[in-house]
Amino acid sequence: MPLIKNGDWADDEFATVADDAALPEGAVIVSLARFEKERAALLARNARLGVHLAAPQSPEALGEDVHRLSVVVLDFPAFKDGRAFSWARLLRTRLGYTGEIRAHGAFLVDQLAHMMRVGFTAFDGDARITPQALASALGEISYRYQPAPDGQKTIRQLRAR
């Protein structure tokens, strides 16, 4: 699938590894189950590490290890399943995670602006998600009502000036 980071196409430096597959050299993304089972060995590797969370899996399960991860992949099993929005916001605000948060799965172009607001920085979706679609989506919201981790001022904050 195409990967968009920093608003443009990007090569995926990470290999997504199945739970029963051998770990290759270099950066890998593993499931939460594999991370919990092989935590010490995975963290001891001299390579970047990511964890893929299924929709019902809270990032709180990563504990303090979240700060040792290079990427957290949040799954959208269907575009109408919004749990990943909550997980991204939780990662940025409550857990203080500053690394890459990658959206994976069935999300829509219409959701991109909101995804960026809550903390997503990379998108691994279908071919309809392009850098041009992302740029267009980001320009659709000119004023924001709700505060979000992106730091943009809300209408209330703008009026208070």
Q: Which residue segments constitute the domains of the chain, with CATH numbers given?
A: 3-160 (3.20.20.70)
Alpha-carbon gap, residue 141 to 115, rounded angstroms? 12
pTM for the predicted model, two decimal places: 0.86
Q: What is the mean pLDDT of residues 87-106?
A: 95
> pLDDT for 3-42, tens place per residue?
888 888 889 999 999 999 999 999 999 999 999 999 999 9
Alpha-carbon gap, residue 109 to 130, rounded angstroms? 9
Q: What is the mean pLDDT of residues 137-159?
A: 72
Here the tokens at position 9 are 């196409």
- pLDDT score, position 73: 98
Q: What is the mean pLDDT of residues 82-111?
A: 93
- pLDDT score, position 145: 62
